[in-house]
């Protein structure tokens, strides 16, 4: 666990330097394996869309963060939140009219793909909130060291890795994204609800570990199928946007979630201290009350994600219809000049999210040969 140990024994700034190692490995791999495929004509940059999107997201995050100190009714808080929404609405209008939009709306207006992005965004809010407030609880309330806190999160990470690989390799071809993501949302909501029972005297083994295991299994069932669904069947010219939007939704969800949940937790803490300030343990109890309030909100969001996954995401049979339709469209027509080659089974690579890129190759019956593509 390099991040906790770097923060504990060196300084918090070394948490940023540690990432340079992974960046160097990624750069070396990109230079060695990725081939450039620049278009003949480079499209112009959509500067209005970029400015509107960045400014709108900044104002929303700033508004939630400012509410933490100034309150929800402060003029700057309300103005920032309203202004962010207005700018994002302007971004949508600008993208409809742009000749080369930064985000072609057809990418997110697709029901299946849009549902996957919603799942990634909601899970981003929940998982960042989990790491933040559980870290506060373990270090501030339970007095664990940064290194020990990092180690205590390992069961959750292990469950995410196991669940994401199994759901991508085994579950997705057999069950489809709707069942997996909805189940993951339900497990996540259950894990968050379990964390709402935390108290100052709760033990890790009985009050934290079960929730981490449930959350890890749930998030693993969300991430891999959602990423796969978000990038499945996208047009070639939109593949870069569709892939990048997955990471964007997770990071935006995390940024908004941390700022909003931090404000909610601090407000709950302050309200508790106003009425229970005489007890010697009041600060610790109030802080724990704030954390559990944030967990309650996260559980509600994951419950909403469960409903949206049922409504928006396709079933296994519907996904099979989409795959067959895409294979039919992509199949080349035989030319009269020479005999058509013998039919070969088409394959579909289903990538595994997070730290693994191992695909599962599944045949699609009745479709023409297509090359295996790893995303």
Domain boundaries, the chain: 1-37, 39-103, 111-326
Burial zone of 249 (CB within 10 Å; 0-12 exposed, 13-18 middle, 19+ buried): buried
Q: Is the pLDDT of residue 356 over 80?
A: no
What homologous superfamily does CATH list for 111-326? MFS general substrate transporter like domains (1.20.1250.20)
Helix axes 282-312, 239-275, angle to 10 degrees: 150
CA dist 146 and 214 (Å) reads 23
Report the SS3 class of residue 364. Answer: strand
pTM value is 0.78
> CA triplet 129, 249, 124: central angle to 5 degrees?
20
Please choose, from the candidates 127, 135, 137, the residue with its C-alpha nearest in 3D space to the C-alpha of residue 288: 137
Helix (H) or strand (E) holding 347: strand 346-350
Q: Rounding to the nearest 10 degrees, give the CA dihedral for residues 259, 117, 301, 282.
A: -30
> CA triplet 275, 285, 72: central angle to 5 degrees?
60
Pair 183, 221: CB distance under 8 Å: yes
CA dist 121 and 48 (Å) reads 24
Q: Report pLDDT digits (tens) over 2-18.
A: 455 555 666 777 777 88
Q: Is the pLDDT of residue 80 over 50?
A: yes
Question: Mean pLDDT over all residues of the chain?
Answer: 82
CA dist 328 and 305 (Å) reads 33
Report the SS3 class of residue 361. Answer: strand
DSSP letters for 306-321: HHHHHHHS--HHHHHH
Residue labelled with tokens 């070394």: 14
**For position 344, what pLDDT does the model report?**
41
Q: Report pLDDT digits (tens) over 299-340.
A: 999 999 999 999 988 877 766 676 666 666 555 555 555 444
Work out the average pLDDT over 353-360: 38
Q: Report pLDDT digits (tens) over 186-245.
A: 999 999 999 999 999 999 999 999 999 999 999 999 988 998 888 887 888 888 888 889
CA 122 vs. chain centroid, Å, equals: 7
Helix (H), strand (E) counts: the chain: 14, 2
CA dist 113 and 87 (Å) reads 23
**For position 265, what pLDDT does the model report?**
93
**For position 348, what pLDDT does the model report?**
42
**For position 127, what pLDDT does the model report?**
85
DSSP letters for 101-156: -SS-HHHHHSHHHHHHHHHHHHHHHHHHHHHHHHHHIIIIIS---HHHHHHHTHHH
CA dist 13 and 31 (Å) reads 28
Report the SS3 class of residue 367. Answer: coil
CA dist 225 and 309 (Å) reads 12
Identify which has the larger pLDDT, 49 or 357.
49
Q: Is the pLDDT of residue 158 over 70?
A: yes
Q: Is the pLDDT of residue 36 over 60?
A: yes
Report the SS3 class of residue 280. Answer: coil
Give me Rg for the CA atoms of the chain: 23
Residue labelled with tokens 């058509």: 340
- pLDDT tier, 118 (very low <50, low <70, confident <90, very high otherwise): very high
CA dist 310 and 308 (Å) reads 5
**For position 351, what pLDDT does the model report?**
41
The count of C-alpha atoms lying within 13 angstroms of the C-alpha of 347, restricted to the half-sphere facing its C-beta, is 12
CA dist 246 and 239 (Å) reads 11
The count of C-alpha atoms lying within 13 angstroms of the C-alpha of 310, restricted to the half-sphere facing its C-beta, is 8
Q: Report pLDDT digits (tens) over 358-370.
A: 333 333 444 433 3
């Amino acid at each position: 666990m390099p991040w906790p140990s770097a923060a504990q024994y060196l300084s918090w700034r070394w948490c940023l330097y540690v990432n340079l190692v992974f960046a160097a490995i990624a750069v070396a791999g990109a230079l060695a394996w990725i081939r450039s495929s620049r278009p003949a004509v480079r499209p112009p940059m959509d500067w209005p869309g970029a400015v509107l999107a960045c400014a709108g997201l900044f104002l929303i995050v700033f508004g939630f963060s400012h509410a933490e100190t100034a309150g929800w009714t402060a003029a700057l808080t309300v103005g920032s939140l309203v202004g962010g929404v207005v700018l994002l609405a302007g971004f949508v209008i600008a993208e409809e009219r742009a000749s080369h939009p930064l985000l072609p709306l057809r990418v997110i207006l697709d029901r299946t793909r849009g549902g996957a992005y919603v799942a990634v965004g909601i899970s981003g809010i929940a998982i960042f909130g989990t790491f933040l407030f559980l870290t506060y609880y373990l270090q501030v309330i339970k007095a664990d060291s940064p290194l020990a806190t990092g180690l205590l999160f390992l069961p959750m990470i292990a469950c995410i890795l196991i669940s994401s690989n199994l759901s991508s390799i085994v579950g997705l071809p057999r069950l489809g994204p709707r069942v997996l993501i909805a189940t993951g949302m339900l497990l996540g909501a259950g894990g968050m609800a379990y964390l709402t029972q935390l108290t100052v005297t709760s033990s890790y083994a009985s009050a934290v570990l079960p929730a981490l295991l449930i959350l890890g299994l749930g998030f693993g069932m969300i991430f891999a199928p959602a990423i796969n669904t978000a990038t499945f069947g996208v047009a070639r010219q939109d593949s870069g946007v569709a892939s990048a939007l997955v990471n964007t939704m997770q990071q935006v969800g995390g940024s908004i979630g941390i700022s909003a949940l931090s404000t909610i937790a601090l407000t709950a803490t302050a309200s508790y201290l106003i009425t229970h300030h005489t007890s010697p343990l009041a600060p610790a109890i109030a802080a724990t009350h704030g954390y559990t309030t944030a967990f309650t909100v996260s559980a509600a969001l994951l419950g909403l994600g469960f409903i949206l996954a049922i409504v928006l995401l396709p079933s296994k049979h519907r996904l099979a219809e989409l795959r067959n339709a895409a294979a039919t469209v992509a199949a080349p027509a035989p030319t009269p000049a020479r005999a058509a080659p013998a039919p070969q089974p088409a394959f579909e690579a289903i990538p595994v999210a997070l730290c693994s890129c191992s695909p599962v190759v599944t045949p699609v019956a009745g479709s023409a040969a297509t090359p295996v593509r790893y995303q």
